[in-house]
Amino acid sequence: MTRHCHRVAVYGTLKHSEPNHHILASSDFLGTCSLSSIVLYDLGPYPGAKLGRSGGVLVEVYAVDPRTFTRLDQLEGYNARAPKSGLYDRVLLDTPYGDAWVYVYNHDVSGCLATRSGGWSTRARC
């Protein structure tokens, strides 16, 4: 069994040069791609993804070990017992690197600015 047994696609503060990237420091970076099945919403200090058609949201895909996967679940407020009740749920989406988990925001995004193509970065914010 491989040490890195989960793939995750990240779109916000976990990407390279973002504040939470250190959590992925021991993970294998597989590459970047564009997902046309999610839309990002600006939640202030971080984005939230919702399933929906887009022009392609840029993500980074990593292979992570079980310990890192657990840390990601904690960071994203994922509740394994009741996935729809946490801050984020996770869904498997197809990427060029194989199916990868994507954290999907569980709450209302009314009034939040949507990003339907491209990416999100703290560097692009005021």
H helix runs in the chain, sequence order = 66-75
Question: At residue 73, what are phi and psi to the nearest 5 degrees?
Answer: -60, -40
Tokens matching residue 30? 């597989």
Out of 11, 76, 78, 88, the active site residue is 76
Distance between terminal CA atoms of the chain?
Answer: 45
Residue 18 annotated as catalytic: no
DSSP tag of 124? G
| Cα–Cα separations (whole angstroms), residue 107 to 4, 10, 25, 85, 89 | 30, 18, 29, 9, 10
Task: Provide the annotated active-site residues.
Answer: 76
